[in-house]
Structure formats: structure tokens, C-alpha cells
């Protein structure tokens, strides 16, 4: 199993990263919480990883924090939650925020995450309630910084949100409401994800 990667960040286009380790380029899928902490392209990066092996693919997922990988691994064990939905959860809420949603039984907020309906939200609350206490770290939501490759922050934010599974019409609404003059793509994405999770 590949549990950790340390190498040079070659490209970053949410949700995909390409990291060169000893001459080998690893394609890694990561949540936005990890993107917020990435160095500029060309910088060194260290990620905690999870390798998923299926009949038709080997998929590598990367996380800036061990707590995020722990939550991801717990989420994909829940019936009805795949890797894409688990990444959407980690992109929309920090580990601590997700734990609060579970402990408070906030079905409405969970349903605002792409891929989660009422039954899945209820299942998450039942199956994750005992697990989130061991995963939480007490840390605040990840802020960090990242360099925008496209010059158009709105376009980059729009592309990233669509890659996470939000519908185009919803993305347009979220980005329009979140974007302020001078905002970086990272700032727009963070505000849009928080808005999507907390507003009906």
C-alpha cells in the first residue's frame, strides 16, 4: 500500500494533483481542504494517501492531514458513500465541522452535499456518530493559500466546484454570491462551499 507521498508538485487542477516522486509521476485525487494547503507548483509536498484497488482501476487519494484521511476511510465504509462523495464532504466541511453536523443530527446540512440524499444523510448520522469523536482533532478549518494557475479566479472556482459534483446552475449561483472583487479562487471556493453546506 502507498501510505504517504513526498515529492514535487507538478500540476494541480481540482480535484487532481500530479506529484513527482523519484522520477515517477503519481496522479492523486484530493479534497479542496488539501488544495488550500498546497505549495505553488514546483514546490515540495507531503500527503497522507489512501490507495483504492478495484478491478478496473487503482485510485490514489491524498490528504494534507492524517485526520482527513481517517475520516475519508471511515466515510467510504458507509453504505452508499463512494470516494467522490467522501471527497465532497471533506471539501465542504472541516473534520471538526463534519463531526458537529453528525453529533447534532443535522440532516438538512448533510443533504446539501452532492451525492447525499435524505436516507444517506440519516445513515451517515447513525453509522458515524460513534466514530467522529476519534477522528476529530480540535483544529480549526483549513485556510492556507494556493497560487491560481488561471488568471480568472471565478472560472477556476467554477471549474473546481463542478468537479466536486455540484450542478452548473447551482455553481453559478454559489460563485456569484461568494465572489468579491480581488478574491482569489481559493477564497471564492471556500466561501461557496460553506454557503452550500449552511444555507438551504
Domain 67-135 top-level CATH class: mainly alpha
Task: Give the H/E segment covering residue 75.
Answer: helix 66-75
pLDDT digits (tens, 9 = 90+) for 6-33: 999 999 988 899 999 999 999 999 999 8
Residue 195 has pLDDT above 60, yes or no: yes
Residue 49 CA from chain centroid, whole number: 13
Q: Is residue 101 a contact partner of residue 93, using CB atoms and an 8 Å limit?
A: yes
CA pair distance 47, 200, nearest whole angstrom: 34
Residue 196 CA from chain centroid, whole number: 14
Per-domain boundaries in the chain:
4-63, 67-135, 153-195
**What is residue 137's predicted lDDT score, i.e. its pLDDT?**
39
The mean of the pLDDT values for the chain is 83
CATH architecture of 4-63: Beta Barrel (2.40)
What pTM, to 2 d.p., does this model score? 0.68
- Inter-axis angle of helices 95-104 and 118-128, to 10 degrees? 100
pLDDT digits (tens, 9 = 90+) for 93-136: 888 888 888 888 889 888 888 888 899 999 998 888 877 765 54
CATH number listed for the domain at residues 153-195: 1.10.8
- The helices-and-strands tally (H runs, E runs) of the chain is 10, 5
pLDDT digits (tens, 9 = 90+) for 153-175: 887 888 888 777 787 788 888 88
Q: What is the end-to-end Cα distance of the chain in Å, rounded?
A: 41
For residue 76, give the C-alpha cell: 467510504
Amino acid at each position: 500500500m502507498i501510505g504517504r507521498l513526498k515529492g514535487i508538485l507538478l500540476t494541480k487542477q481540482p480535484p487532481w494533483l500530479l506529484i513527482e516522486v523519484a522520477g515517477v509521476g503519481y496522479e492523486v485525487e484530493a479534497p479542496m481542504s488539501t488544495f488550500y494547503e498546497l505549495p505553488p507548483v514546483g514546490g515540495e509536498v507531503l500527503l497522507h494517501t489512501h490507495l483504492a484497488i478495484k478491478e478496473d482501476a487503482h485510485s490514489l487519494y491524498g490528504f494534507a492531514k492524517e485526520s482527513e484521511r481517517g475520516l475519508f476511510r471511515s466515510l467510504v465504509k458507509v453504505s452508499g458513500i463512494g470516494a467522490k462523495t467522501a471527497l465532497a464532504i471533506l471539501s465542504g466541511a472541516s473534520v471538526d465541522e463534519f463531526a458537529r453536523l453528525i453529533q447534532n443530527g443535522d440532516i438538512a446540512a448533510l443533504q446539501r452535499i452532492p451525492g447525499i440524499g435524505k436516507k444517506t444523510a440519516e445513515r451517515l448520522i447513525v453509522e458515524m456518530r460513534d466514530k467522529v469523536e476519534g477522528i476529530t482533532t480540535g483544529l480549526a478549518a483549513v485556510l492556507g493559500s494556493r497560487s491560481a494557475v488561471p488568471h480568472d479566479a471565478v472560472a477556476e472556482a467554477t471549474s473546481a466546484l463542478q468537479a466536486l459534483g455540484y450542478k452548473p446552475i447551482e455553481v453559478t449561483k454559489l460563485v456569484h454570491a461568494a465572489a468579491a472583487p480581488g478574491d482569489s479562487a481559493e477564497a471564492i471556493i471556500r466561501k461557496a462551499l460553506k454557503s452550500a453546506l449552511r444555507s438551504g
